[in-house]
Each structure stands twice: as structure tokens, then as C-alpha cells.
A = this chain, B = another copy of it.
Amino acid sequence: MNKSATKVLATLERVGGFASAQEVFQKLERDGDRIGLTTVYRALQSLLSDKIVDVLRREDGEAIYRLCGDQHHHHLVCKNCGDTVEIEGGAIEKWAKVMAEEHGFRDIGHTAEIFGLCSKC
């Protein structure tokens, strides 16, 4: 793995969840790392083909990456004030696993998010 890929990987580790190429690029830039956007994209592709990271799509189609096997959590988001709570997703993990097995899917991942109005709003 080359230097850029290592930096990108470290950034994803620091984020601890999903981040898009653009976000990784911005974080590195803010830290004073001189790295090009192209290089970030290429590093992510390389990490992807080495199965070190996982890719998903956001609602708007932007690709988001995260470390494979990373413990992940879910979010409870207030649709009024944007306040976000990190929550446990044990039930989801189980559900995803059962559903996948039932339909012969393997190598699975999932996304889940709850949105509503928080107590303050």
C-alpha cells in the first residue's frame, strides 16, 4: 500500500464510519496534507479492490466508503433541528443476516436510519 492510500485509510479510521471521497479529501486538506482529489479517488479504488474498504451510495448518489468489518452504528436524526443520536443496531444486524440467508445473499452490509422529531422540537 502506498503513502496516499495509508493517509486515506487513516482518515477513514478517524471518521469511524462512512465518508465520501470529497469528505476524505477535505479532511486531509484541513490537516495540511498536500494531496490531490484524484489521488484520493485512486487510493479509494485501490483500497476497494483490496477489499479493505466497503462502498455504499448516499441518497444523492455520492459514493461513501468505510473500513470493512468496522463496527458501525446507526443514527436517529431530528428532521427539524438536525440533532443526531447514535444508536445500537443489534436488532438490525440480526434482521439483515436472517433476510440475507433466506434469499441466498452473502457478503452483506446494510444501512438503516431513523428520522423524526426530537423532544425539543
Question: In angstroms, how far is the closest chain B Cβ from the Cβ of A102?
Answer: 8
Q: How many copies does the complex hold?
A: 2
Residue contact A118 to B92, C-beta cutoff 8 Å: no
Looking at the complex, which one of B85, B89, B92, B106 makes contact with A116 (CB distance below 8 Å)? B106
Residues of B near A104 (CB, < 8 A) are 118-119
Interface size bracket, A side? 35 or more
* Contact partners of A91 in chain B: CB under 8 A: 91-92, 94-95
Quote the shortest CB–CB distance from A96 to chain B (angstroms). Answer: 5
> Could you list which residues of chain A lie within 8 angstroms of chain B, going by C-beta atoms?
56-57, 61-63, 76, 78, 85, 87-89, 91-92, 94-96, 99-100, 103-119
